[in-house]
A = this chain, B = another copy of it.
Amino acid sequence: MVVYAGQGDPERTLALLWRTPGDGPPRRGPKPALTVDAILAAGIAVADESGLDGLSMRAVGERLGKTAMALYTYVPTKRELIDLMYDHAHAGLVPGLPGDWRQAVEAWAVALHERYLRHPWLLQVSHARPVLGPHEQTVLERLLEVLPDVAVRATVSALFSLVRGSARTIAENRGAAAGTGTSDQEWWTARSRLMNDLVPDFADRFPRSAGLPPVAWDKAAREAFAGGLNLLLDGLENQAGRRNG
């Protein structure tokens, strides 16, 4: 499932995101048994455990001892709930970054990468038409504070692509391992055996791929992330240096 942000009533969503205090007259009916925060926490817990596909209004309600429909008093639709969860899960990232810009950018990328791995469902929420909540905005602001003054737009975009792409690969890998019960090694050896039988001329047709098994083990993927980040930062340093001298 891919979720596009901000489809509901934008005013209501933004008010919830930025927590404009309810300005209406004092509430009249029965006391609310829930809060938006409690629903958020429950939703994040469910999504952490079962992914965004396992996040149903029923499941969130059940975790709070309520029915699915009870949530609709607090949150307009499931989409808005995910928007709120998304922003909330970005809270408290990178409070302080080192002074050296290259180290700082690297630290930023690693921290975001780790956050994505802690809440893999974040990667299923679209990055276009941004939610623009306070916490994700802070993450972006921190990066902009340390980025050298060159190709900012392209660098931001490339960094997000790299971090999200790598995290996605690792998260999906973990999900596949957990969901199927077969480890990477098991899967790969079984797959290799089958391929040998079915496509015996594989090594002839794809000599370089055959020499580079496209396995995305956790460790290999992390190294690839570090290496890719290094490449990008090299390029950035190069361009910044060229510009300044």
Residue of B nearest to A123 (CB): B2
CA distance A202 to B231 in the complex (A): 34
Considering only residues 145-196 of chain A, those with a C-beta below 8 Å from chain B are: 145, 151-158, 160-162, 164-166, 168-170, 172-173, 175-176, 179-180, 187, 190-191, 194-195
Residue of B nearest to A130 (CB): B214
Q: Is A53 part of the binding interface, using a Cβ–Cβ cutoff of 8 Å?
A: yes
Contacts of A195 in B (CB 8 A): 14, 132
Structural contact, A155 and B231, CB atoms closer than 8 A: yes
Q: Is A126 part of the binding interface, using a Cβ–Cβ cutoff of 8 Å?
A: yes
Q: Is A216 part of the binding interface, using a Cβ–Cβ cutoff of 8 Å?
A: yes
Contacts of A198 in B (CB 8 A): 11, 14-15, 18, 20
Majority secondary structure, A binding face: helix
Closest chain B CB from A236 CB (angstroms):
6
Closest chain B CB from A105 CB (angstroms):
12
| Known A129-B172, A165-B162: A154·B226 in contact at CB below 8 Å | yes
Structural contact, B231 and A235, CB atoms closer than 8 A: yes
| Known A155-B231, A161-B166, A223-B153: A11·B194 in contact at CB below 8 Å | yes
Tell which of B129, B207, B228 touches A173, judged by Cβ atoms closer than 8 Å.
B129
Residue of B nearest to A225 (CB): B157
Q: Is A221 part of the binding interface, using a Cβ–Cβ cutoff of 8 Å?
A: yes
Q: Is A128 part of the binding interface, using a Cβ–Cβ cutoff of 8 Å?
A: yes
| Known A2-B2, A164-B165, A176-B4: A18·B199 in contact at CB below 8 Å | yes
List the 10 shortest-distance A-B pairs measured between CB atoms, nearest first.
A154-B227, A161-B165, A158-B228, A234-B235, A235-B235, A231-B235, A144-B208, A157-B224, A128-B172, A128-B173
